[in-house]
Amino acid sequence: MTDKKEMIRFNLDVSPEVHETLEKLAQKIGGTKSDVLRQAIALMQIAIIAKENGKKFGIVETNQDLTTEIMIP
């Protein structure tokens, strides 16, 4: 038995623009495109849980004022 979690591989078709965005984001976080997608999924999960609990998910100023609410359909 190994310590590594089993990984499932899948293919994803994206536009050239999305591919470029993934590349740029990966560079900014010092990771891979897969890392970007994993973190994006984690953020989406947090936003959905917040919405289900009647809370807002967004960007706040240092004084805690919500400046941008991220809307989840």
23: confidence class by pLDDT, cuts 50, 70, 90:
very high
What torsion, rounded to 10 degrees, do the Cα atoms 46, 49, 51, 54 define?
Answer: -120
pLDDT of residue 1: 46
Please give the angle made by the CA atoms of 66, 70 and 73, to the nearest 5 degrees. Answer: 140
Length, in residues, of the chain:
73
Residue in 61, 59, 62 with CA at minimum distance from that of residue 71: 59
29-62 pLDDT, tens digit each: 999 999 999 999 999 999 999 999 999 888 888 9
